[in-house]
Amino acid sequence: MKKKNTMTPETDSPSVVITLNILLDEKSFHCLKQSIPPGSRSKVVLKQAVHLGSNVVLSCNETEARNLLLYAGHCSGVVGSIHKAIRSAGLPMD
């Protein structure tokens, strides 16, 4: 998990952008890949995935991770991995 400080234009106060690293096995990655519709911006996250042997690491921000959850609600391995990444970052699950 990486943190980066940015300034928000609405308040000119610092906000933190957190990069989540989501570890998936090949089966879960394939399920997720099949779940995302053509033309979705979430395809970019998949294109930037890093393959490590029989595992795949996705790096994305919280919003992108929650969007992936919407697409892959039926892929239990994906849901579990995203929940784990969100909880590990100390973010709420709501």
pLDDT, tens digit (0-9, with 9 covering 90-100), for 32-67: 999 999 999 999 999 999 999 999 999 999 999 999
* Residue 5 domain flag: no
H/E/C letters for each residue in 30-63? Answer: HHHHHHCCCCCCCHHHHHCCEEECCEEEEEEEHH
* Residue 62 domain flag: yes
What are the tokens at 53?
Answer: 């042997």
Q: Tell me which residue range forms the domain holding 25.
A: 20-88
* Residue 65 domain flag: yes
Beta bridge partners of 60: 20
* Residue 1 domain flag: no
Domain count for the chain, please give it. Answer: 1
* Residue 94 domain flag: no
* Residue 55 domain flag: yes
Calculate the CA 92 to chain-centre distance.
14
Whole-model pTM? 0.81
